[in-house]
Structure 1
């Protein structure tokens, strides 16, 4: 391990994170204690006794007898543990161990985007009722996507609260860390379904507004990819590790599939479908017999989806950073933040065409009302000025007499 005033290297950080996970998860007597403090207790025991045995771990830290030997082997053997654990505490005492804080943006993002999405979906439903002759299937699917998005965000808030103030594993208790694993698992399993529902709502809308064969075939193709990717994302999350509560069996190599790589691949496919759904209506818009200005406005309306594509890109970057496994990226809260952004932007984009139709419907009435109000005000001002002139004339005539 590095021993310099310049700090610890990436390899050192990865090793300490690994030790933190292993020691924290297998020391149930101290599951509510910060893992760095648990490591300190290991160091104190080693200093007092020179070494330790599997029985010592069971007696002093609560390690299961069936796991204690495996824990020692997993961490490199008793001699290596006796060397490294005091080194970790020494690095902390020398101020070399970083203590990065978590992002606090999850709750504000959830509140802000939920408010905006609520307005967007409400305007969409109002538009369908007033302009389109009633609420249709794609609208109900969007409403389902809206409630699933809120559900996902609520779980993300619980995840943020469970994670606490710090990112690095050694700054958390195993109780907190275990809860973050559980909630992140739930978020990862739920995400594909929320994304699928929102995308399907858009595809149903596109299918309904066109009778062009190639566009309808494109809708079917994108829908097939979306559903397939959703099923893959869900079942990889659920089946990648055995037992499913892999966080309680970290030393037993429970995961046979690299879930991080799988999540990045699934996110990339979703981003591809984002781009496809964004581009899909453009040929239809340009075929409409509308003035150029109206067509450009229509393209901009559908083009709002590009913003969701950008959010998808940042989410993929957050996933990649999380997989780098260092103290600055050992928290998955940034993934939650970008997912909240992505899902809500997708909802807003799905509602944009209906909102535009609502504005177009009310624009003439608003214009007529505003014009009438201005005319009335101008008339009143003119009458007042005329009356003032007449009174002034009367005063002049009176003075002349």
Structure 2
């Protein structure tokens, strides 16, 4: 935190402790709208995973950690805004409130690391269900997971070690205060967060672009990835406001309002974007009256479709025959191999199944698909 010089403080108006100007309830409204939405879609995600899929995997638990950390962010912001003056001008703050303010600031930064890091990791682990083993997509997903873990861990260490003793982070008038400049680590972390959000957003786009999907699914994916774009925009705006608060103003509690708005957007929208894809499976499940059974269908576009297959989706192998076809699946994943008359088909070219995580599966086989690997 930059301390204003006596010349700067001389330009401030007199402190108003009785009836200070405030930012109003906008920040609380944003937090209290986005947090319940994030928690609701998380609960629905777990309903799908337990009731329909019959299993819970690592990506689900990472999303729980993200949602819990996001809840901590909201609680901290409400506490600081209501009690410690995060919605006031800095000249209307008493020193003791500024100390509490700094404590909450450190807590929010730590919770932000956990929330965004876990949300990205959860989404990337979910991507692995779309990625064939040994594919570039899969390797890039693992690389980005490692990148997210490394830069967040590094910043967490810097956050708690930047001041000696640590309490001098909030005791800004401490006589033996020894702190590194606060700006460079914050700006570096925010910049890397923008990069990570962008990478997570664009990583599946080439695979989905090549997929042969109905128009309705394409529209749904466009809407979903638009939300991902909002996360990226929110991260960019958060970076801007970090820079502004650190370098362009001493009224950090007043101008920090914008920073906290975009922090809420990034934290909670990350959870929402990571959980919304599961809701499609839930809608289909409810439309079928809680059943995963259906029949066969033949499409007019020259492809054959095996309708939804009844049975447990808890794991193992599902076998169904249509014109000599044999379908095998991994637990909770897409079909990784399709063989017709004993010949393996290239899964990227022959079909794309985005509905297999609802406890049933639809596989579309294009007539005339070419075998791969000479089999």
Check whether TM > 0.5. yes
Contact 1:302 1:352 in 2 (8 A): no
Q: CA separation of 1:167/1:299 partners in 2, compared to 1, >3 Å: closer, same or farther?
A: same
Q: Which runs of 4+ in 1 moved over 6 A?
A: none
**1:316 equivalenced with 2:239 (yes/no):** yes
Q: 2-side partners of 1:158 and 1:184: how far apart?
A: 11
Counterpart selection for 1:354 from 255, 262, 278: 278
Which digits, 9 at most, give the CA deviation of each residue in 1:18-66, with x for residues without a partner?
65xxxxxxxxxxxxxxxxxxxxxxxxxxxxxxxxxxxxxxxxxxxxxxx
Contact 1:146 1:347 in 2 (8 A): yes
Q: Which runs of 5+ in 1 are unaligned?
A: 1-12, 20-86, 367-401
Offset, 1:166: 5.8
2:308 match: none
Q: 2-side partners of 1:139 and 1:184: how far apart?
A: 28
Q: How does 1:4-23 map to 2 (within 5 A)?
A: 14-16=4-6
* The structure with more strand, counted as a fraction of residues: 2
Q: How does 1:122-133 map to 2 (within 5 A)?
A: 122-133=43-54
Q: 2-side partners of 1:168 and 1:252: how far apart?
A: 25
TM-score computed with the length of structure 2 as normaliser: 0.67
Offset, 1:281: 1.3
Q: 2-side partners of 1:361 and 1:105: how far apart?
A: 38
Offset, 1:162: 3.1
Contact 2:183 2:246 in 1 (8 A): yes
**1:192 equivalenced with 2:113 (yes/no):** yes
Offset, 1:309: 1.1
**1:277 equivalenced with 2:170 (yes/no):** no
Q: Which has the larger radius of gyration?
A: 1
Q: 2-side partners of 1:323 and 1:240: how far apart?
A: 16
Counterpart selection for 2:163 from 234, 238, 241: 241
1:268 match: 191
Counterpart selection for 1:232 from 119, 135, 154: 154
2:328 match: none
Which digits, 9 at most, give the CA deviation of each residue in 1:207-251, with x for residues without a partner?
133215211111111111111111122111111111111232536
Counterpart selection for 2:58 from 123, 131, 137: 137
Aligned Cα RMSD in Å?
2.9
Q: 2-side partners of 1:108 and 1:335: how far apart?
A: 15
Offset, 1:302: 3.8
1:217 match: 139
1:343 match: 267
1:7 match: none
* The structure with more helix, counted as a fraction of residues: 1
Q: Which runs of 5+ in 2 are unaligned?
A: 291-375
Q: CA separation of 1:132/1:284 partners in 2, compared to 1, >3 Å: closer, same or farther?
A: farther
Offset, 1:318: 2.0
Counterpart selection for 2:230 from 297, 307, 315: 307
What SS class does the counterpart of residue 40 from structure 2 fall into? helix
